């Protein structure tokens, strides 16, 4: 009877197979344990009502405060104030990064060489301050630098991750005019190649799709969140913190449009990558507000979402119709009108005004979209408290010459979870998180 005797080669093969299996399991374990999403904190500046985030830029890393907006064309920073980083690199004309950024112009700076001024042909971009609508011509140097960002997975926070190449532009100190004190630039969440959603997705790959969620805080004393990547987005309740919920399950969706030919882009001479929606009608207590609805079409200006505006801004005829309808409903509720407080025109006494968990008990303002999706705004988001004795309708008359006819601003977005899915071209939104005893400050990770 023959007996098989193991050879040294068979032992080695077995050991190799075993080690391979162990190695694969280790890779899978690491992959599962690695946080897959990026998190940026966001706060509200008390003076300007702008939303501000912090990122660590450069080598050594320095924390920089940047004003957040959904428009623009990628992040920019002030380089006039001393910017020192050993990993800062200007983007050369004709380089891969210049092509990725879809930029067609180059320039040479002949002043003293420093970040923002290099004596060779550099890729040229026009940095824009979307708060003031100022921009810098002739050039803003395109550059790259390291960035350190926080990560999370579900309700678990992860380590900071260093991305070796964040594309940004240098701007002069004058472009900071109108921005919150202490900020040194702007972080744009737009749909351009250099917008943060595209850059983070390109840096990390398929694990981080071109999706981000925005949850803005309602006061300067709270912290909101910008979440890059797929759900879940876990938030805990206000009272019982052990009660956690994936708020992405509460999203209602409508079509998201990037409008390259927006009125603002024509004014600036730069194609827009801002986010528009197809608003169909505005309602007060479910009753349609009467105005020329063709103003809501993209051809006439349309509707966009902007965190650069503290309140929703409406073209004059739309605003007057909304204000009139709202005031009639308030009068029927025996709520007395009082003197206006700028920038508002419709203000009311709090003497007979009831309050609920959703803020002042006022008529509900509704937005309906072309696909039937409906967004309802209660007093928490529709009103602004201007004194202990008065509240005002937190919508603003933007004038009859407005390009974009409706700009949904920050107050109406606070403590609402918004998801911008750039792959599927859709916007997800929840009703006010206050409904479910949640708030943007309660992001669990």
Q: What pLDDT score was predicted for residue 264?
A: 64
- Residues 91-107 pLDDT 10s: 988 888 888 887 767 87
What's the mean pLDDT in 43-64? Answer: 96
- Residue 43 is given by DSSP the state E
CA distance 144 to 223: 28
The pTM for the full model equals 0.89
Angle at 436 between CA 434 and CA 442, to 5 degrees: 70
- What pLDDT score does 24 carry? 37
Apex CA 219: angle with CA 218 and CA 221, to 5°? 135
Side-chain-facing half-sphere of 397: CA atoms under 13 Å: 17
Report helix, strand or coil for 198. helix
pLDDT tens-digit map of 263-295: 666 555 566 789 999 999 999 999 999 999 999
Which one of 3.30.930.10, 1.10.3720.10, 1.10.1200.10, 2.40.70.10 gives the CATH number of domain 38-231? 2.40.70.10
pLDDT digits (tens, 9 = 90+) for 70-92: 988 889 999 887 788 999 999 98
Other Cβ atoms closer than 10 A to 80? 16
Handedness of CA 374, 342, 266, 295 (dihedral sign): positive
CATH no., domain 251-429 = 2.40.70.10
Q: Burial level of 101, CB count in 10 A (0-12/13-18/19+)?
A: buried
The Cα–Cα gap between 390 and 397 comes to 19
Asked whether the beta carbons of 205 and 24 are under 8 A apart, the reply is no
pLDDT band at residue 111, thresholds of 50, 70 and 90?
confident
Task: Decide if 38-231 and 251-429 have a common fold.
Answer: yes
pLDDT band at 315 (very low <50, low <70, confident <90, very high): very high
Domain ranges (residues) in the chain = 38-231, 251-429
Can you give the pLDDT at residue 267? 54
Q: Are 432 and 358 in contact (CB under 8 A)?
A: yes
Length of the chain counted residue by residue:
445
Among 24-38, 168-182, 252-266, 392-406, the minimum mean pLDDT is found in 24-38
pLDDT band at 27 (very low <50, low <70, confident <90, very high): very low
Q: Which residue has the higher pLDDT, 313 or 119?
A: 313
Nearby residues of 185 by Cβ (< 8 Å), 6 or more positions away? 64, 66, 67, 75, 76, 77, 78, 168, 171, 176
Would the pLDDT of 172 be above 90?
no
CA–CA separation, 433 and 439 (whole Å): 5
């Amino acid at each position: 009877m023959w007996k098989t005797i193991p050879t040294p080669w068979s032992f080695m093969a077995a050991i190799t197979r075993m080690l391979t299996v162990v190695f694969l399991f280790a890779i899978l374990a690491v992959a599962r344990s690695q946080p897959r999403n990026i998190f940026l904190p966001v706060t509200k500046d008390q003076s300007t009502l702008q939303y501000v985030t912090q990122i660590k830029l450069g080598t050594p890393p320095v924390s920089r405060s940047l004003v957040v907006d959904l428009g623009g064309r990628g992040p920019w920073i002030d380089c006039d104030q001393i910017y020192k980083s050993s990993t800062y690199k200007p983007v050369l004309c004709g380089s891969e990064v210049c092509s990725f950024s879809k930029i067609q112009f180059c320039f040479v700076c002949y002043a003293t060489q420093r970040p923002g001024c290099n004596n060779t042909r550099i890729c040229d971009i026009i940095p824009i301050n979307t708060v003031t609508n100022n921009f810098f011509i002739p050039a803003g140097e395109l550059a790259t630098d390291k960035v350190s960002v926080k990560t999370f997975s579900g309700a678990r926070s992860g380590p900071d991750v260093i991305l070796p190449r964040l594309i940004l532009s240098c701007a002069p100190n004058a472009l900071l005019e109108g921005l919150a004190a202490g900020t040194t630039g702007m972080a744009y969440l737009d749909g351009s190649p250099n917008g943060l959603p595209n850059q983070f997705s390109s840096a990390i790959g398929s694990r981080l799709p071109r999706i981000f969620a925005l949850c803005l805080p309602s006061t300067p004393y709270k912290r909101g969140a910008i979440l890059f990547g797929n759900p879940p987005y876990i938030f805990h309740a206000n009272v019982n913190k052990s009660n956690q919920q994936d708020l992405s399950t509460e999203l209602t969706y409508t079509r998201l449009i990037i409008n390259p030919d927006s009125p603002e882009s024509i004014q600036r001479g730069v194609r827009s990558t801002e986010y528009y929606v197809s608003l169909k009608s505005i309602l007060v207590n479910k009753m349609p507000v009467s105005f020329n609805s063709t103003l809501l079409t993209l051809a006439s200006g349309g509707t966009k979402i902007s965190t650069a505006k503290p309140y929703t801004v409406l073209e004059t005829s739309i605003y007057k119709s909304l204000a009139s309808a709202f005031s009639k409903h308030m009068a029927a509720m025996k709520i007395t009108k009082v003197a206006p407080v700028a920038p508002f025109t419709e203000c009311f006494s709090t003497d007979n005004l009831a309050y609920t968990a959703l803020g002042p008990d006022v008529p509900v303002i509704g937005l309906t979209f072309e696909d039937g999706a409906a967004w309802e705004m209660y007093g928490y988001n529709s009103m602004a408290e201007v004194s202990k004795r008065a509240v005002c309708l937190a919508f603003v008359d933007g004038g009859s010459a407005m390009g974009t006819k409706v700009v949904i601003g920050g107050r109406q977005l606070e403590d609402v979870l918004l998801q911008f899915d750039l792959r599927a071209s859709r916007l997800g939104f929840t009703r006010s998180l206050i409904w479910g005893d949640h708030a943007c400050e309660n992001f669990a990770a």
